[in-house]
Structure 1
Amino acid sequence: MNRWGQIVEAIITDENDKSYFAQVNGETFTVAKNQLDGETFQQGETIEGLIYEDMNRRKVLQYQLPDIRPGYFGWGTVTQVRKDLGAFVSVGLIDKDVVVSLDDLPENKDIWPRKGDQLYLTWEVDAKNRLWGKLAADEELSKLYKPAKENTKNQTIDARIIRMKLDGAIGISVEGYRVFIHENEQISPLRMGESVRGRVIDVHKDGSMNLSLKPRAHEMIDDDAQMLMVLLNRQANQFLPYHDKSDAQEIQRELGISKSQFKRAVGQLLKQRLIQHEKGKGIWLLSEGDNNDAD
């Protein structure tokens, strides 16, 4: 019996409308014509491909080699999760997924990947000719990383979670940056393979970064407070001459909101430390440096 996952030479012996048939060491394998990009073979011709048994227990020779195969890593998409077995992952094989065993996934099944998530992995074949997905170890993951520049701080980036830790999660950004998301910077617990979008809150000397998934302070305020922020940013001195003693009709006329709405919006901005105020004078926009000093 041939060992699945090998790249072998095979001899074309027959064909029909949909497939060629090729022999390897006395076993016949199907070569799907719709996967050949129009390429044709002649009987007796020798071809090369990767052999395995598909989900329908057909012996398949895949002529176009998948990017993910033994010794080669890539991003596979989770197609199904079974709590008693593990995660089924599409790795580019025709009519065949590989399984990442529950033994290779976190003990906490709440942070397992879900359908549609992506895992960075390869696969291997056991003694019983079963295909098992193998998650990339740190050494392999390190080949993906590139250092981030300091000016990426405060930028919003997209990342994929690749490793869970006791105090947070490790991911890799679309650009290739290594990111760490502390549990205090998560809105809800993350899971392996999940795609996230967050704000860079720190860039380390080695080029790795810390990410926060929590909304920026100005994203947590209501429409009236947002409007005040816009007006403050438009002023050359980032100042508005309105306060709790201002005339209600003047506030309504100039800002388009009631005095109670104004006071509530100012309260939100003060709580988020986005502005400062002085009684009887007005409100000022806090700079990022002033905001940090207030911590």
Structure 2
Amino acid sequence: MANELKLGTYNLLRVKEPARREGFGEVFGLYLDGGREGEILMPQKYVPEGAKPGDEIECFVYLDQDERPIATTEKPLATVGDFAYLECAWVNEYGAFLNWGLTKDLFCPFREQKKRMEIGNSYIVHVHIDEESYRIVASAKVEHFLKNGTQTGLKRHQEVDILVWQKTELGFKVIVNNRYPGLIYRDQIFKYVHTGDRMKAYISSIRPDGKLDLTLQPTGMAAAEDFSSVLLQYIKEHNGYCPLGDKSDPEVVKRLFQVSKKVFKKAIGDLYKRHLISIEADGLHLIASLVK
């Protein structure tokens, strides 16, 4: 028995038969078994070479221009349930259409836009199935789709995946693990960050309201140990010398290493205690016996 078809995501569907034009015999694709949804067409341009009846094909299923399910081996930039940073390709009297990597663009109606989308600009959106029309649509009102982070099983210091959402006076709002709201404070950012960036981050605290505070570096001793190896490698690659020390300007440290002064000082202490460096008035020096 075929699995239930899932619109807007990947399905493993069995090939039933070639799709032929009536009266001509010309093959224009394959019919796949969509279970209760019936036969699903995969147009010929998406058919894997050598595919035949009985084979199973992993494919993405969405609706064509006539709102019929159609299968493709194209890979969209987002599936139903995802948050993504997508570019506006065109606009009509009903809304905007976003490039999400498929031949048919993703519709974002005006009612789901915070401000009118403009061609060429990119926006953070949530991809979902509209309950009324059953169409796959996007919404820029992403806060409506974020979950509360209190009952997540997430813990302090845990590594997570983030999508940078928007800049604020405090720092950057982010979306954590494709689900939860989070914030990286301005003083915790030591490299250039832009809306749409995807990266790793670390939970520094879980607030009572469920929102997550994050940093871009490991916290506590893990951060110092992680950066210690980076600092040691830098010194080795620069003739056994680093011009900065524990009294250096935090902004200079930030520009050179993209870490906080606190993490930098802990790393210095770690390397010094391990007898790998000496601390001099002009900076840090690799212990002579280690210099090659």
Give the TM-score band, short-chain normalised. Answer: 0.3 to 0.5
After TM superposition, the score normalised by the length of structure 1 is: 0.44
After TM superposition, the score normalised by the length of structure 2 is: 0.44
Max Rg structure: 1
